[in-house]
């Protein structure tokens, strides 16, 4: 779509974020800037902007406000996740807690969330306010449930899927749903785009959970197997537990004080297990659903860009 230059749009979002994280408190501003410049593909803002071209009111100001607010919410969850997980690195850089301290990290997360809420006040459509306010609550619940589920070996796949829905899929679902709403598209189209975002988000997180085992520390920006070391039972772990009772018994023994050797043993078993491909197959099913539904959207200008993003997600699987 010639009217959208992806690189220019991302640069515009970056500049808006830099302005919004300015603060009279220099520590909060520096910590926020540290996170902002540590990388990130700005997937959520991009989905908002692409979706805002679906209807008649294309590429509008409300879409930019939503895009920036969603990214601020996402950034806040990253900071809080790192505190909960005692993470040392995020995308290869020191986490805010490690570079400053826990109090600064928690306050920075709160600062970013409050900035998002304040920025959302510029949006005129009451429906969007209601959807986003409910979503922020769900994101917070998701963080709480993730904390409560740490090192809880006996979890169902349904519980896992519900957790990653709140953790990742929800914000991408919101990006496509609300982005489409800003374009004045009809309700049926908004619902379709919401479902597309949900499926993309679910696939995105499952691939992340696989890469945590199969990628390298250099590419991940954190130690391989960090999720399991932090007690998060992701899809590959749950599938391997169902397949191998002996493995399940080892997972049941894990706790924050378990030896590095035991964690390494579990991680290596998963790395060489068929559950890696099984997990990627499940991820692909979600992407296939998104692609099939995308074909029913009448706007042929936006489809190629969505397909390009989906193809990039598929490439991440390899």
pLDDT category of residue 318 using cuts at 50, 70 and 90: very low
Looking at residue 7, its pLDDT comes to 83
The b/e string for 256-280 (b: 16+ C-beta within 10 A; e otherwise) is eeeeeeebeebbebbeebebbebbb
Contact assessment for residue 303 and residue 54, using Cβ atoms and an 8 Å cutoff: no
Q: Which residue has better confidence, 84 or 256?
A: 256
Q: What is the mean pLDDT of the chain?
A: 91
Lowest mean pLDDT among 24-33, 122-131, 188-197, 252-261: 122-131
Which three-class secondary structure state does DSSP give residue 54?
coil
Please state, in angstroms and rounded to a whole number, the distance separating the CA atoms of residues 269 and 220: 19
pLDDT category of residue 3 using cuts at 50, 70 and 90: low
Alpha helices in 21-86 (DSSP H): 26-36, 43-51, 61-85
**Closest residue by Cα to residue 36 from 81, 75, 80, 79:** 75
Residue 134 burial (CB < 10 Å; 0-12/13-18/19+)?
A: exposed
Contact assessment for residue 225 and residue 213, using Cβ atoms and an 8 Å cutoff: yes
Provide the angle, in degrees to the nearest 10, between the axes of the packed helices 61-85 and 102-120.
160
pLDDT category of residue 315 using cuts at 50, 70 and 90: confident
**Per-residue tokens: 30:** 């520096």
pLDDT category of residue 27 using cuts at 50, 70 and 90: very high
Question: CB within 8 A of 152, min separation 6: which ones?
Answer: 231, 233
Contact assessment for residue 239 and residue 283, using Cβ atoms and an 8 Å cutoff: no
Please state, in angstroms and rounded to a whole number, the distance separating the CA atoms of residues 16 and 36: 11
Sort strands 89-90 and 93-94 into parallel, antiparallel or unpaired.
Answer: antiparallel
**Closest residue by Cα to residue 290 from 179, 169, 181, 156:** 169
Q: Which residue has better confidence, 141 or 175?
A: 175
Please state, in angstroms and rounded to a whole number, the distance separating the CA atoms of residues 83 and 44: 23
Please state, in angstroms and rounded to a whole number, the distance separating the CA atoms of residues 193 and 115: 27
Distances (CA, A) of 13 to 18, 22, 219: 9, 15, 25
Q: Mean of the pLDDT values across residues 110-125?
A: 90
Which three-class secondary structure state does DSSP give residue 93?
strand
Looking at residue 1, its pLDDT comes to 44
Looking at residue 308, its pLDDT comes to 85
Q: Mean of the pLDDT values across residues 65-79?
A: 93
Which three-class secondary structure state does DSSP give residue 317?
coil
Does the structure show a pLDDT above 80 at 68? yes
Does the structure show a pLDDT above 50 at 138? yes
Q: Mean of the pLDDT values across residues 90-99?
A: 92
Does the structure show a pLDDT above 50 at 2? no
């Amino acid at each position: 779509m010639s009217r959208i230059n992806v690189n220019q749009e991302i640069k515009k979002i970056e500049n808006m974020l830099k302005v919004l994280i300015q603060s009279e408190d220099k520590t909060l501003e520096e910590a926020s800037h540290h996170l902002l410049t540590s990388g990130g593909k700005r997937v959520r803002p991009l989905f908002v902007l692409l979706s805002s071209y679906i209807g008649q009111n294309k590429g509008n100001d409300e879409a930019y406000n939503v895009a920036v607010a969603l990214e601020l919410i996402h950034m806040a969850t990253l900071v809080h996740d790192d505190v909960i997980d005692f993470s040392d690195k995020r995308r290869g850089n020191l986490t805010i807690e490690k570079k400053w301290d826990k109090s600064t990290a928690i306050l920075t997360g709160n600062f970013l969330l409050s900035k998002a809420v304040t920025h959302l006040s510029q949006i005129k459509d009451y429906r969007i306010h209601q959807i986003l306010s409910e979503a922020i609550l769900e994101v917070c619940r998701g963080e709480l449930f993730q904390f409560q589920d740490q090192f809880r070996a006996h979890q169902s796949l349904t519980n896992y899927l519900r957790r990653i829905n709140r953790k990742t899929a929800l914000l991408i679902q919101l990006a496509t749903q609300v982005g489409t709403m800003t374009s004045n598209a009809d309700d049926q189209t908004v619902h379709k785009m919401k479902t597309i975002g949900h499926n993309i988000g679910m696939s995105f997180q499952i691939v992340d959970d696989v890469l945590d085992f199969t990628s390298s520390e250099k590419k991940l920006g954190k130690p391989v197997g960090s999720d399991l070391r932090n007690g998060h039972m992701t899809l590959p772990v749950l599938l391997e537990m169902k397949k191998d009772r002996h493995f399940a018994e080892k997972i049941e023994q894990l706790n924050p004080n378990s030896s590095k050797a035991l964690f390494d043993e579990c991680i290596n078993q998963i790395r060489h297990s068929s559950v890696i491909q099984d997990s990627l197959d499940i991820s692909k099913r979600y992407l296939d659903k998104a692609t099939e539904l995308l074909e029913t959207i009448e706007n042929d200008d936006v489809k190629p860009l969505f397909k390009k993003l989906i193809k990039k997600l598929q490439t991440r699987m390899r």
